[in-house]
A and B are shown apart, each in its own frame.
Chain A
Amino acid sequence: MRIVNTEQIGECVYRLARRAGLTLTQDCRAALRKAADRETGAANFALGKILENEQTAKREGLPVCQDTGMSVVLLSIGQEVSLVGAPLGEAVDDGVRRAYRDGYFRKSVCDPLTRENTGDNTPAYLHVDLVEGDKIEVNYLPKGFGSENMSRLYMLTPAQGREGILSAIEETVRLAGSRPCPPVYVGVGIGGCFDSCALLSKRALLREIGSRHPRADVAAIEEEALVRINALGIGAQGFGGKVTALGVSCEIAPTHIAGLPVAVNIQCHCVRREKEVL
């Protein structure tokens, strides 16, 4: 049994959150550069400013985007680990609270009814999986809501099948149009149940842009969906262009014989994610 104080997890969340707010992921930067080369006019202007922005953020020590997001923390905890110290949720929130204060990040979390800001970006959305081993994997994803608002969940019928899945992905991006800050990164969950399907779609966003699912039939859906999305012509910021999405990643799970849940989680072009294994 390995003993870990939750304070260490809180410290890790703090480090990851501070880093994530200030930089794009490398795969995102590479995809944006490729997109800029393919576009002209206003879309090219937008992509140029987006790439210039990351340099400015680095030079000035400012967050790349003012929407420093809701803090999504996905933990995989080895079941040979025994946690001691403050309750896990409190430790994670403490890391978020300090990171948003010290990083001069925007506090973007509020009560859904009164709209009163919690003032420190907590609570984080924390999800924990128990896995084998004695390690702890910490994934941190600050999720902006311009794109989150454009995400959708479909409860398809088995008869709708593969074409239904592709249509759902395409429809979500088409309806989102210019609003989620395209070019977007599309995370798709296929299967599971109503809520686990949505979580799968968020997990898909943890994958590198351009990576392919190990299952050939799933990888084929990723590729075909990307082609169909980019044929929409929405382009960077909705200004029209060839690149509406930087990538599509799908995750799957077995589902009920009566259903085919599909969740489409939209991520803006400002892909920020960090990971560490303790």
Chain B
Amino acid sequence: MKELNLPLGEEEARGLSAGECVLLSGTIYTARDCAHRRMFELLDRGEPLPFDPNGAIIYYAGPCPAPAGKVCGSCGPTTSARMNVFAPRLLDLGLGGMIGKGEMSEETRAAIVRNGKVYFAAIGGAGALYGTAIKEMECVAFPELLSEAIYRLRVERFPAVVAIDAAGNTVYFR
């Protein structure tokens, strides 16, 4: 299986094909519905995002609390389709890609293609497996949102499937 270090280089991103199973290592940021709404409020006010979007990967996820002695609780992906209203603008701002589960819209796919980025599918329902792939975790914004806050994660050998590649091919059955 192909092992990838994040952030991805431009050539590396373009070299991935939909359907490929990969292991991801490096830094990613969690954000789901509420965190996206907050980030868009910041953008609309002309303020910077809590993390530099350039090349960054957003993981659509909201973890369980970490039990004592663990870095993170269960932390599988949530349904990406709810973030279709946010993804294109973030990709146009330089976002390196997203990790989530399930199909995304035509608008998102088009934004992935025009920016040469990639959308990875993590396996929904495999929360414990992903929780153990997280080696470091730090809240970077909106702690009051609890599991919906933005967390910076360092992951090691995080299993995923290339779901939409830079050419716009998808793994999803139509």
Contact = CB atoms under 8 A, between A and B. Distances in A.
B131 interface: yes
A106 B62 contact: yes
A27 to B, nearest CB: 16
B42 to A, nearest CB: 17
A66 B103 contact: no
A227 to B, nearest CB: 17
A64 B125 contact: yes
Task: Determine the interface band of chain B, counting residues with CB < 8 A from chain A.
Answer: 35 or more
A178 B78 contact: no
A115 B74 CA distance: 22
B79 interface: yes
A63 B74 contact: yes
A133 interface: no
B124 A181 contact: yes
B128 A53 contact: yes
B73 interface: yes
A62 B73 contact: yes
Given A106-B65, A115-B34, A268-B124, A62 B101 contact: no
Nearest to B124: A181
Interface stretch (A134-142, A193-201, A232-240): A232-240
Grouping DSSP codes into helix (H, G, I), strand (E, B) and loop, the A interface class, with mixed when no group exceeds half, is loop
B172 A238 contact: yes
Contact of B173 (A106, A107, A179, A239): A239
A88 interface: no
Contact of A179 (B33, B64, B103): B103
A153 B100 CA distance: 27
A119 B145 CA distance: 10
A195 B34 CA distance: 29
B76 to A, nearest CB: 5
Contacts of A64: 74, 125, 127-128
A105 B64 contact: yes
Nearest to B172: A238
A63 B128 contact: yes
Contacts of A106: 62-65, 73-74, 147
B155 to A, nearest CB: 15
Given A146-B78, A238-B173, A181 B161 contact: no
Interface in B98-142: 101-103, 121, 123-129, 131-132
Contacts of A239: 19, 121, 161, 171-173
B85 interface: no
A55 to B, nearest CB: 9
B78 A67 contact: yes
Contact of B125 (A42, A53, A177, A178): A53
Contacts of B148: 117
B128 A62 contact: yes
A50 interface: yes
A62 B64 contact: yes
B139 to A, nearest CB: 15
A256 B35 CA distance: 45
B62 A60 contact: no
Interface in A237-262: 237-241
B46 interface: no
Given A66-B131, A146-B79, A237-B123, A42 B74 contact: no
A65 interface: yes
A36 to B, nearest CB: 12
25 contacts: A49-B123, A49-B159, A50-B125, A50-B126, A53-B123, A53-B127, A57-B74, A60-B131, A66-B61, A66-B74, A104-B66, A104-B67, A105-B65, A106-B64, A146-B79, A177-B103, A177-B172, A178-B173, A179-B81, A181-B124, A234-B173, A237-B101, A238-B172, A269-B125, A270-B125
Closest CB pairs A-B (n = 10): A240-B173, A57-B128, A53-B126, A181-B124, A66-B127, A66-B74, A179-B102, A62-B128, A270-B125, A178-B102
Given A50-B126, A106-B65, A177-B102, 18 more contacts: A46-B161, A53-B128, A56-B132, A60-B128, A62-B131, A64-B127, A65-B76, A66-B147, A104-B66, A115-B34, A146-B102, A177-B103, A235-B173, A237-B121, A238-B172, A239-B161, A241-B173, A270-B125
